[in-house]
């Protein structure tokens, strides 16, 4: 599953107890270099939220005591996903966070964290950024069967490493980004582009991933 493949398990995650003071939390954050860490309940079982270094600093600068309980500044209490959640649930939950807490499906116990960087790395891998040869960007107006026609043209010369469509909400224009495999050379790429344009598709950009 997606979450399991990207998640850092609880045993490898730095956490703070809900009973800790802000001073203790700040000490942990300073020592580890993290800007925030998960806060767990007293038993270390359930997720309470996240504590951020920035908020502790602001708290102290305002004249408030760092001996206050960490729960005074808890954030993201409802920001979590479950082990079995799919790609879109995870993607839209994590987008503004450094990581998203992962809970077990049945018990809601804290399982670990899924870092933002790992999610982006998965997307990069899915796009074949490091293993492709060229990315061909095609601009097209909505027309039935366009993707089928494009893939049919390309498949005569090469396989497709990945395919992505952008501007899904646009009623005027959409972009299709097709990554060609590493064994596709420049000559083959040129044939594909020429054939696509011959068929009426507008190729707006070709990026050489080898560069």
pLDDT tens readout for residues 29-74: 999 999 999 999 999 999 999 999 999 999 999 999 999 999 999 9
Mean pLDDT by 10 residues, the chain (211 residues): 83 97 97 96 97 96 96 96 86 88 95 89 66 86 80 93 74 81 93 93 89 66
Q: Tokens 């039935």, residue?
A: 144
Measured between alpha carbons, how far is 48 from 18 in angstroms, rounded to an integer?
7
Give me the numbers of helices (H) and strands (E) for the chain, helices first please: 7, 11
Q: For position 130, what pLDDT does the model report?
A: 64
pTM summary value: 0.70
Measured between alpha carbons, how far is 36 from 113 in angstroms, rounded to an integer?
12
Beta-bridge partners for 38: 50
Q: For position 168, what pLDDT does the model report?
A: 56
Q: For position 31, what pLDDT does the model report?
A: 96
Q: Which of 44, 49, 45, 51 is nearest to 21 (CA)?
A: 51
C-alpha distances in Å from residue 170, one per residue of 88, 139, 201: 20, 12, 18
Q: For position 126, what pLDDT does the model report?
A: 62
C-beta separation of 81 from 3 below 8 A: yes
Identify the structural domains of the chain with CATH numbers, from first to last.
2-123 (3.10.580.10), 127-208 (3.30.70.260)
Measured between alpha carbons, how far is 160 from 157 in angstroms, rounded to an integer?
10
Q: Tokens 């925030």, residue?
A: 36
Cα atoms in the 13 Å half-sphere on the side-chain side of 137: 11
E strand or H helix at 17:
strand 16-17
Burial 106-143 (b: 16+ CB within 10 A, else e): eeebbbbbbbeebbeebeeeebbbeebbbbbbbebeee
C-beta separation of 134 from 179 below 8 A: yes
Q: For position 121, what pLDDT does the model report?
A: 76
Q: For position 4, what pLDDT does the model report?
A: 79
Q: For position 174, what pLDDT does the model report?
A: 81
């Amino acid at each position: 599953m997606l979450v399991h493949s990207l998640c850092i398990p609880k045993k490898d995650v730095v956490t703070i107890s809900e009973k800790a003071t802000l001073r203790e939390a700040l000490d942990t954050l300073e020592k580890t270099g993290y800007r925030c860490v998960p806060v767990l309940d007293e038993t270390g079982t359930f997720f309470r939220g996240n504590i951020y270094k920035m908020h502790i600093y602001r708290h102290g600068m305002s004249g408030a005591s760092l001996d206050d309980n960490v729960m005074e500044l808890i954030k993201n209490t409802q920001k979590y996903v479950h082990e079995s959640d799919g790609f879109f649930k995870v993607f839209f939950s994590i987008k503004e966070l450094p990581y998203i807490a992962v809970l077990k499906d049945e018990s809601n116990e804290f399982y670990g964290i899924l870092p933002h960087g790992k999610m982006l790395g998965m997307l990069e891998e899915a796009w074949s950024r490091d293993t492709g040869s060229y990315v061909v960007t095609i601009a097209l107006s909505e027309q039935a069967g366009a993707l089928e026609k494009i893939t049919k043209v390309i498949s005569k010369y090469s396989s497709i490493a990945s395919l992505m469509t952008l501007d899904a909400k646009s009623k005027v224009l959409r972009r299709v980004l097709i990554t060609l495999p590493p064994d596709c050379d420049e000559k083959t790429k040129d044939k594909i582009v020429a054939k696509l344009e011959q068929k009426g598709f507008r190729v707006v950009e070709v990026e050489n991933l080898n560069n």
